[in-house]
Amino acid sequence: MNEEKHPDSDPLHHVAKIRRKLQELAEHCRDDIPKIHEPKAKVLFETTAEVLIGLQTAYEHYTTQAEPAMQR
């Protein structure tokens, strides 16, 4: 999504920024998993990535109004 299309007061401007940061952080978690040797830490990082992807999906639903609860 192009953030510049929305004024700063438009929630979609902020939603786009948050979605991008959630994606970046989830990718960072997954990229670090092969570097970690402790199994519990690997699970923690994978779980973190999954939760972040779930949050990103919620933001996407807000943007696309895909869920009835998110319709404006």
| C-beta pairs of 42-50 under 8 Å, 24+ apart in sequence | none
In this predicted model, what pLDDT tens digit does every residue of 7-23 receive, in sequence order? 788 899 999 999 999 99
The values of phi and psi at residue 10, to 5°, are -80, 125
The answer to whether 1 and 14 are in contact (CB under 8 A) is no
Question: pTM for the complete prediction?
Answer: 0.81
What would the pLDDT profile of 17-69 be if each residue is shown by its tens digit?
999 999 999 999 999 999 999 999 999 999 999 999 999 999 999 999 887 87
Kindly tell me the burial class for residue 3, based on how many C-beta atoms sit within 10 Å of its own C-beta (0-12, 13-18, 19 or more).
Answer: middle
pLDDT of residue 5 exceeding 90, the answer is no
Q: What is the pLDDT of residue 15?
A: 94
Contact 45, 30 (CB under 8 A): yes
The CA distance from 31 to 21, in Å, is: 15
